[in-house]
C-alpha cells in the first residue's frame, strides 16, 4: 500500500515513520483506517539497529509532481521532515523517465543531459525539499523481454548511492 492524496487513504504517514524507526514488528498489516499505536502488540518499543532503516527511498513516477494534488506532497513533506530530524538520508528514485522525455525514450544515455529530465528532477527537489543529488532518474522495465545494460546502469547507479548513504549512517550509528 502506498500513499494516496486523500487524508485517510493509503498508508498512514505515522505508520511509515514508525516503520523507518523500527517500531513496526513483522506481521503488521498497514491499515488506511487506523495507524499503529504504541499500545498495539505489533509496536516495537525498543527497536534494535537491525530493525531500523538507514535510508528512506521514495519510488515516484516522473509525472507525479506535475499532476498531483498538493495533499500527497504535504504527506511526503511530513514524512521527509520527521525522518530528516533523525538524520536519516532520503532519496527519490524517479521512474518512467523515458515517458517524460522523447529524447531519453530513444536513447537512455541522454538521461542526464535532457532538459525535460532536469526540469522534472528540479520540480521534485523543490516540492519535497531534497537535494538534486538525492534524486535518481531511471527507466522501468515494462516492454523488454531481455535485460538492457542502459537500463541496468541507471538502476545500479541509484542502488550504489543508496547503499553508500545508508552505510555512512550505519557506521556513524554503530560508533556512538
Encode pLDDT of 49-66 as tens digits: 888 899 999 999 998 877
Counts for the chain of helices (H) and strands (E), in that order: 7, 3
Please check whether residues 101 and 159 belong to one and the same domain: yes
Instruction: Please state, in angstroms and rounded to a whole number, the distance separating the CA atoms of residues 56 and 140.
Output: 20
Residue range(s) defining the domain that contains residue 40: 1-52
Encode pLDDT of 108-166 as tens digits: 999 999 999 999 999 999 999 999 999 999 999 988 999 999 999 999 999 999 999 99
Return the closest-CA partner of residue 114 out of 134, 98, 93, 126: 98
Please check whether residues 166 and 107 belong to one and the same domain: yes
Please check whether residues 5 and 25 belong to one and the same domain: yes
The pLDDT of residue 116 is 95
Encode pLDDT of 3-43 as tens digits: 665 655 556 788 889 889 999 888 888 877 777 777 777 88
Burial class (CB in 10 A: 0-12, 13-18, 19+), 72: buried
Please check whether residues 45 and 61 belong to one and the same domain: no
Burial class (CB in 10 A: 0-12, 13-18, 19+), 12: buried
Taking the model in full, what pTM does it have? 0.86
The pLDDT of residue 175 is 65
Q: How far is CA 27 from the centre of its chain?
A: 22
User: In the listed set 30, 52, 74, which residue is the last one of a domain according to the structure?
Assistant: 52
**pLDDT band (50, 70, 90) for residue 90:** very high
Please check whether residues 74 and 125 belong to one and the same domain: yes
Number of domains the chain contains? 2
Please check whether residues 72 and 35 belong to one and the same domain: no
Bridge partners (DSSP) listed for residue 7? none
Residue 49 carries which DSSP code?
Answer: G
The pLDDT of residue 95 is 95
Amino acid at each position: 500500500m502506498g500513499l494516496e492524496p486523500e487524508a485517510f487513504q493509503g498508508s498512514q504517514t505515522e505508520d511509515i515513520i514508525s516503520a523507518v524507526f523500527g517500531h513496526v514488528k513483522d506481521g503488521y498489516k498497514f491499515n488506511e483506517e487506523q495507524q499503529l499505536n504504541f499500545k498495539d502488540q505489533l509496536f516495537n518499543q525498543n527497536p534494535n539497529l537491525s530493525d531500523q532503516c538507514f535510508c528512506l527511498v521514495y519510488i515516484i513516477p516522473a509525472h507525479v509532481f506535475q499532476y498531483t494534488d498538493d495533499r500527497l506532497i504535504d504527506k511526503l513533506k511530513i514524512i521527509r521532515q520527521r525522518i530528516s530530524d533523525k538524520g536519516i538520508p532520503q532519496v527519490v528514485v524517479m521512474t518512467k523517465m523515458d515517458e517524460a522525455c522523447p529524447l531519453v525514450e530513444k536513447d537512455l544515455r541522454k538521461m542526464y543531459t535532457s532538459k525535460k529530465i532536469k526540469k522534472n528532477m528540479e520540480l521534485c527537489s523543490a516540492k519535497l525539499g531534497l537535494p538534486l543529488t538525492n534524486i535518481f532518474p531511471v527507466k522501468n522495465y515494462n516492454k523488454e523481454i531481455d535485460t538492457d545494460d542502459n537500463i541496468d546502469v541507471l538502476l545500479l547507479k541509484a542502488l550504489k548511492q543508496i547503499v553508500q548513504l545508508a552505510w555512512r549512517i550505519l557506521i556513524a550509528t554503530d560508533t556512538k
